[in-house]
Amino acid sequence: MTQSATWSDDRVTALKVLWQSGASAAQIARQLGGVTRNAVIGKVHRLGLSGRAPPSRPGRAPRMSPPRAARPARSPPPPRPQVREAVPVALEDPGLVADMSELRAHMCKWPIGDPKAADFSFCGRAADGPYCPSHAAAGVRPGTAWRADRDPVVRRALAGLI
């Protein structure tokens, strides 16, 4: 590895300018010469420059492209397929806590079943936040309008416990 020799102050400055202008690592490597794309990426990380806007399109000299106001929006992605069937079976296991008043702070407050039914329960398993890991994942599942933390029953439980 001879990377350290290739990064003179001038070249580091050029790297920063190119990177911040939106050039890709491969483009920067070509501009600087004598370094690989991977070396550019490594240097960018060491310089703490990695967080930036999306890279410019390939094939354009970065200096020649002034920042654009806004690119034309791409056509919207197709609607996601419904994923309701993907819920793990474990989520339907009977809850451990039948009564809201028995829920404690570190118990999963995911409601199971119909709140009006006699067998309604809360998950009650160990939870880091409001829900156990399985239910936390289910609660943020894309494509699902219902969210446990917007459920009135759960909201009441949370208000009383947290």
Query: Would you tell me which residues interact with Zn ion (CB under 5 A)?
Result: 108, 110, 123, 125, 132, 135
Comparing CB distances to Zn ion, the nearer of 43 and 125 is 125
CA angle, 115 then 100 then 152, to 5° = 50
Counted residue by residue, the chain has a size of 162
Instruction: Tell the smallest beta-carbon distance from residue 86 to Zn ion (Å).
Output: 17
Q: Report the residue number, 47 or 126, with the smaller CB distance to Zn ion.
A: 126
Element (H, E) at 122: strand 121-122
Residues 6+ apart with CB under 8 A from 146: none
Among 59, 123, 124, 60, smallest CA distance to 92 is for 123
Residue among 29 and 127 whose Cβ is closer to Zn ion: 127
Q: State the pairing for strand pair 111-112/121-122.
A: antiparallel
Minimal distance, residue 123 CB to Zn ion, in Å: 3
Compare residues 19 and 110 and give the one whose CB is closer to Zn ion. 110
Contact residues for 81 (Cβ-Cβ < 8 A; gap 6+): 143
**Shortest CB 131 distance to Zn ion, Å:** 5
Q: Smallest distance, Å, CB 98 to Zn ion?
A: 14
